[in-house]
Amino acid sequence: MSLQDNLNALRDEGLAKIKATDNLKSLNDIRVALLGKKGKITEVLHGMKNLPAEEKPKVGAFANTVRDTLTEALTSQREKLEELALDAKLNAESIDVTLPGTPVAEGEPHVIQQIIDQMCDLFMGMGYQVLSGPEVEEERYNFEMMNLPKDHPARDMQDTFYLSSEILMRTQTSPMQARTLETHDFSQGPLKMVSPGVVFRRDTDDPTHSHQFHQVEGLVIDKHITMADLKGTLLLMVHELFGEKFNVRLRPSYFPFTEPSVEADITCMNCAGKGCSVCKNSGWIEVLGAGMVHPNVLKMAGVDPDVYGGFAFGVGPDRFAMLKYGVDDIRDFYLNDVRFLTQFSKKG
Amino acid sequence: MKIPYKWLKEYLDLDVSAAELGEKIERTAVEVDSVASPSAGMKKVVVGEIVAMEPHPDSDHLNICQVNIGEAEPTQIVCGAPNAQVGKKVIAALSGARIADNIKIKKSKMRGVQSNGMLCALQEIGFPESVVPKEYVDGIYFLPDDAVPGASVFPYLGMDDDLIDIDVTPNRGDMLSVYGTTYELAAIYDQTPRLNHPDVPENTDQKAADLITANVDKDLAAIYKLRVVQNIEIKPSPMWMQIKLWDAGIRPINNVVDATNYIMLKYGQPLHAFDLDKFHGKQVNVRLAQPNETLTTLDGNDHETNPNDIVIASEDAPIMFAGVMGGLNTEIDDTTKNVVIEAAVFDPIRVRKTAQRQNLHTDASQRFERGVNHGGVQEALDAAAQLMHDQANGQVAQGTVTGSDQDVQPVLVDITIDRINKVLGTELSVAEVTSIFTRLGFGVEEHAGLYSVSIPSRRWDITIDADLIEEVARIYGYDNLPTTLPTGQMTLGVLSPAQRQIRATRTSLEAAGLNQAISYSLTTEKKAAQFALQPTALTKLAWPMSSDHAFLRTSLISGLLDDVAYNEARKVKNVALYEQGRVFYREDDQIRPTEEEHVAGVLTGTLNDSTWNDHEAKVDFYQMKGIVEHLLRDLAVVGPVEFEATADYPDMHPGRTAAIFVHGHRVGFVGQVHPRVEKQWKISETYTFEMNLQMLIDMQKSDDQYNPISKYPAITRDIAMLVDANVTNQQVLEVIKKRGGAHLTQVKLFDVYTGSKLPADKKSLAYTLTYQDKTKTLVDEDVTKAFEKVEKFLESELDAEIR
Ligand SMILES: [Zn+2]
């Protein structure tokens, strides 16, 4: 048998064995048996040294072809077996994708904070500064400069925690009107500010009353600010906080520090304005007080009411949150039950 | 104030429904609490006439009444009222009737006797007991003798009307009267009201001044007037007047007292009537109360006067708290013959204070507090005198006794059309504005857009142009105002650096898993004193509502522990909260405390609840500390952050608390709440921290700058050592960092061991040291040299045994 025949036979036998192999181990054994240092092909190639010189290149080339063919077959069979092995492995690794995901521990901002932040962001976008004032206030700012002189009957409307005859827990964020009016430099442009914060009333806590709650004060003073601007501003705020489908209406009211004074109602969220028990069948819910800043307030802060004027409003984020989310007990905001706090986690 | 719709219709042509009228008032003038008919929800309540009555055989108080209800045969009703009486017209609720509180009346047997309905007291058809005439409080009500049996009782009692309950703001005291409300509605509906004015028939034979005089301190009563009516006949008032009184919530008493109340409702001017024959002396004194004076008021209560109370006094004693309530000693009773009527304007502040002090909030005091029409005092007085003449057959003595008086003139307020439009954002014409002022009943003079508006005394709330702008706005209608946004010079709206850092603080702690809490700033004396970062005096409220909220907090932790306790009491075991807010520090001589921004957190239970694939890890000191480190990193404070064991805080665990230093400044602490304090709050093991956020905000912040990442490989070496148990990680780190050489870039603790395999006073610590050079590949020998140096110093400085 010639060397070539020998090679042909080894090739055919090898290819058949390779094809029949079903695992990587025996495939490797075949490779070693054929192409290893002591393999049969290697052995045949060693026999080439006995060939005549002129035959060597031809047989050599043929031997290389056979070796390449076998190598290729080995590689392709190995890839095929590896693929099968991987499939089997992955199949074995299957998991129940319906098991719960690993929880991410993330805290939430307080719902009142969320409303305050939302309002501050809205007003900053319209060029308002955000200012915070003292929680322990002078009577002068809390009352006197807000046009509530001593013995004014409206002081009875706001039962006050006093520390001394002149120092008190602020009953409203309105003193920030007086404080900013006093210091604002109108030559630098208009005064536009919102001031969120906590306020205190001498009240007994129950589902609708809390001795501590929040307010956001708003104030805009310039040379040409109108009540129509107030109306538009309140409407924008209500759209931002509650949604576009809510409307605003103004009703006459009374606050010593604004004239005209109004209360603003928004469409009842419970009945969408149709009338229900929540809104006493009016279709409207009272949400905030506002008005045009009283000339006395401007005067007392050293601002000329003949030149400057504007509007102010006071919003209760607690009440907003109660209305928006249907919270029926204001005390829940201050007791901080984790199950309560984590219900308001909508971002954006 | 509840106003009967029919009363308004006496003066105005109103054809809208009561609900529409209420809505209009609410949108234009003052809030309306309710619009309701007193008979709403009730039916089949008719006039019955008791035609026969016999005692129930099996009862000592029931009577079997035969009641004519306008049908061929009387119907039988068993009645327990003690005043049931044959011949009286009564209120009969028939079978199928609905009475107050939605009670349904059915035929029934009462102790074996058939009863086809019920004879009603006024309370049973919805009257508050406080308005039921005294003689009917304990029995059934007797309708007028001419009431028609079988007819509905509602018209006889005024219950077919609608009552509009207005909630008058402090500035609109004028609307606490039917006339005031009528003027308001006249403006709203552009009508001229048909108001009547009194015309007093006087007895020219008797001068009032001969019967009584008045000595008045003008500072206490700017206007003080009296009239005298003689020889009156006391009896019940006519039905029409009684109805108006009880609709407004006032109990009818007799024709004299009722006349004064009726005039108050009509004009808004409180009046008082007293018995001239019970009055000692001839002079009425309006003065401040004198020491030790007492007064028994008409409600039967005894009062000590206060030297600041205005009293009306006879020659020897007070007979009234002026403007508040009269005294029993001069009460009008069934025997009264001669009456003095008082109409006055008292100092509103004193009236308010007296009402508060004596706890006597009356219809009169409510009106004086908000002001009354100084120009309407005489008219109200005359109207009352006329009523007593007409209804009590009294003789009105000639003249008014005037103790003090004022010349009341309209107030002139100037305003321009431009000003109105500028403030409202409108384009109203002169004609429109003139029409509004005219409708309001104001005098108007206008020249080229400049108004001089004359305000009648009944609108004493209007004194400046802003007040007039409000009148224009509300009559024009807020719905009709345009909707715009402010224009003008642009301004910048951005958070200040401090506000940004407060927001960053919140975001950082939320990212670490803590929920934001907002707790009460007012707490108990004990809690207020706990956990303060620095020594401070406590701040107490002058008049707290309760001891639970009497002191200002000096730490946020105490409030957070309240929250933990609240959660644990409600079976919420895992609590992770933070709070950002103010605490209140005070020096002893300071009245107003200093407010300081703080931030604090609490952890109890576990931060990550156990899940199907992971066990829960109980919170510990290091978790809380990690959150503090995370926060300080986010705030980018400059300088080293250090933790030092401390036992300085009595409410903290002395072995598990660290003071926090930033750049050498003590900014707060972190640790476990003292087990004794945990017991105080009834909470389980809780870790907490509190820092002075204001200090952190005020500290210098590092600007972010890119630090190039070395292209050359890092070499790491692990070191394990045995040290004395009291050697701290901090000490080891200091040695390693000090002796580590220029290329030591990181030291990481990876193992701490104490336990059975080591002596009790030893512990094992293991660290990975990372070396790297930014400019070249490090040579192994250099690293080994540096590493050996560290080993040597650990041995010499900390007595470490390298393993
Ligand atoms: Zn509704």
The length of chain B, given as a count of residues: 803
Nearest to A124 by CA among A218, A199, A197, A243: A218
Q: Where residue A158 falls among pLDDT bands split at 50, 70, 90?
A: low
| Residue B669 lies in domain | 497-698
Instruction: Classify residue B777: in a domain, yes or no.
Output: yes
* Residue in A with minimal Cα distance to B539: A163
φ and ψ at residue B118, rounded to 5 degrees: -150, 135
- Any A CB within 8 A of B543 CB: yes
CA end-to-end span of chain B: 91
Amino acid at site B227: R
Measured between beta carbons, the chain B residues lying within 8 angstroms of A127 are 490-493
Q: Where residue A126 falls among pLDDT bands split at 50, 70, 90?
A: very high
CA end-to-end span of chain A: 85
Distance from CA of A87 to the nearest CA of B (A): 26
Proportion of chain B above pLDDT 70, given as a percent: 100
Of A161, A167, A251, the CB nearest to B26: A251
Q: Where residue A53 falls among pLDDT bands split at 50, 70, 90?
A: confident
Asked if A162 lies within 8 A of B542 by C-beta distance, the reply is yes
Distance from CA of A219 to the nearest CA of B (A): 12
Domain closes at, from B449, B480, B511 = B480
Q: Are residues B691 and B725 in the same domain?
A: no
Distance (Å) from CA A277 to ligand 1 centroid: 6
Of A151, A169, A222, the CB nearest to B488: A222
> Residue B67 pLDDT > 70, yes or no?
yes
State how far the alpha carbon of B392 is from the alpha carbons of B228, B232, B236, B258, B395, in Å: 13, 5, 9, 11, 9
- The overall average pLDDT reported for chain B is 94
- The H or E element that residue B166 is part of is strand B163-167
Distance from CA of A85 to the nearest CA of B (A): 29
- Claim: this prediction has a pTM higher than 0.80: yes
- Which is more confidently placed, A51 or B294? B294
Q: Are residues B454 and B542 in the same domain?
A: no
- Any B CB within 8 A of A153 CB: yes
Residue B316 has what DSSP assignment? S
Query: B158: how many CB neighbours lie within 10 A of its CB?
Result: 21
Q: Are residues B530 and B593 in the same domain?
A: yes
Q: ipTM score of the complex?
A: 0.89
DSSP 3-state of B452: strand
Segments making up each domain of chain A, as ranges: 3-92, 112-344
Mean pLDDT value across residues B588-606: 95
Q: Are residues B375 and B229 in the same domain?
A: yes
φ and ψ at residue B753, rounded to 5 degrees: -135, 130
Q: Please give the Cα distance from B204 to B209 (Å, whole number).
A: 12
Instruction: Classify residue B152: in a domain, yes or no.
Output: yes
**pLDDT per residue as tens digits for the range B79-114:** 999 999 999 999 999 999 999 999 999 999 989 899
Asked if B514 lies within 8 A of A125 by C-beta distance, the reply is no
Amino acid at site A176: M
Q: Where residue B371 falls among pLDDT bands split at 50, 70, 90?
A: very high
Residue B197 has what DSSP assignment? -
Q: Are residues B31 and B47 in the same domain?
A: no
* Residues contributing to the annotated binding site of B: 461, 467, 470-471
- Any A CB within 8 A of B431 CB: no
- Any B CB within 8 A of A252 CB: yes
Q: Where residue A156 falls among pLDDT bands split at 50, 70, 90?
A: low
Instruction: Classify residue B508: in a domain, yes or no.
Output: yes
Asked if B424 lies within 8 A of A227 by C-beta distance, the reply is yes
Q: Please give the Cα distance from B562 to B518 (Å, whole number).
A: 11
Instruction: Classify residue B536: in a domain, yes or no.
Output: yes
Measured between beta carbons, the chain B residues lying within 8 angstroms of A154 are 170
Q: Are residues B766 and B623 in the same domain?
A: no
Q: Are B391 and B255 in contact (CB under 8 A)?
A: yes
Q: Where residue A105 falls among pLDDT bands split at 50, 70, 90?
A: confident
Contacts of B436 (CB under 8 A, 6+ apart): B187, B471, B472, B475, B476
Distance from CA of B612 to the nearest CA of A (A): 8
Distance (Å) from CA B795 to ligand 1 centroid: 79
Domain closes at, from B342, B373, B404 = B404
**pLDDT per residue as tens digits for the range B241-295:** 999 999 999 999 999 999 999 999 999 999 999 999 999 999 999 999 999 999 9
> Residue A157 pLDDT > 60, yes or no?
no
Domain closes at, from B369, B404, B439 = B404
Instruction: Classify residue B193: in a domain, yes or no.
Output: no
Distance from CA of B454 to the nearest CA of A (A): 19
Q: Where residue B478 falls among pLDDT bands split at 50, 70, 90?
A: very high
Of A126, A212, A235, the CB nearest to B522: A212
Q: Are residues B741 and B789 in the same domain?
A: yes
Distance (Å) from CA A248 to ligand 1 centroid: 14
pLDDT at A64: 84
Q: Are residues B184 and B251 in the same domain?
A: no
Q: Please give the Cα distance from B10 to B3 (Å, whole number).
A: 12
Q: Where residue A83 falls among pLDDT bands split at 50, 70, 90?
A: very high
Q: Are residues B105 and B184 in the same domain?
A: no
Q: Please give the Cα distance from B115 to B773 (Å, whole number).
A: 109
Distance from CA of B665 to the nearest CA of A (A): 26
pLDDT at A1: 59
pLDDT at B388: 96
Instruction: Classify residue B137: in a domain, yes or no.
Output: yes
Which of A336, A340, A341, A344 has the most B C-beta neighbours within 10 Å, making it the best mutation to test the interface with B? A336
- Any A CB within 8 A of B16 CB: no
Q: Where residue A301 falls among pLDDT bands split at 50, 70, 90?
A: very high
Instruction: Classify residue B706: in a domain, yes or no.
Output: no
Long-range Cβ contact pairs of A13-17 (< 8 A, separation 24 or more)? A14/A41, A14/A70, A14/A73, A15/A69, A15/A70, A15/A73
Q: Are residues B240 and B359 in the same domain?
A: yes
A259 is in an annotated binding site: yes
* Residue found under tokens 């730490």: B555
> Residue A94 pLDDT > 60, yes or no?
yes
Asked if B520 lies within 8 A of A212 by C-beta distance, the reply is yes
pLDDT at A192: 97
Asked if B512 lies within 8 A of A135 by C-beta distance, the reply is no
Proportion of chain B above pLDDT 90, given as a percent: 91
Q: Where residue A347 falls among pLDDT bands split at 50, 70, 90?
A: low
- Any A CB within 8 A of B753 CB: no
pLDDT at A277: 84
Distance (Å) from CA B14 to ligand 1 centroid: 28
Q: Are residues B289 and B312 in the same domain?
A: yes
Measured between beta carbons, the chain A residues lying within 8 angstroms of B488 are 189-190, 222-225
Distance from the Cα of residue B699 to its chain's centroid: 41
Which neighbouring-strand residues pair with B387?
none
pLDDT at B242: 96
Asked if A109 lies within 8 A of B510 by C-beta distance, the reply is yes
Give the CATH class of A112-344: alpha beta
Long-range Cβ contact pairs of A318-324 (< 8 A, separation 24 or more)? A318/A112, A318/A210, A318/A213, A318/A214, A319/A287, A320/A115, A320/A241, A320/A287, A321/A111, A321/A112, A321/A115, A323/A269, A323/A285, A323/A287, A324/A115, A324/A241, A324/A242, A324/A269
**pLDDT per residue as tens digits for the range B510-548:** 999 999 999 999 999 999 999 999 999 999 999 899 999
Of B483, B511, B540, the CB nearest to A235: B483
Q: Are residues B663 and B560 in the same domain?
A: yes
Instruction: Classify residue B488: in a domain, yes or no.
Output: no
Asked if A292 lies within 8 A of B489 by C-beta distance, the reply is no
- Any A CB within 8 A of B40 CB: no
Mean pLDDT check: name the lowest of A112-126, B172-186, B420-434, B635-649. B635-649
- Any B CB within 8 A of A122 CB: no
- Any B CB within 8 A of A277 CB: no
Measured between beta carbons, the chain A residues lying within 8 angstroms of B478 are 231, 249-252, 262
Q: Please give the Cα distance from B228 to B282 (Å, whole number).
A: 12
**pLDDT per residue as tens digits for the range B418-452:** 999 999 999 999 999 999 999 999 999 999 999 99
- The H or E element that residue A292 is part of is strand A284-293
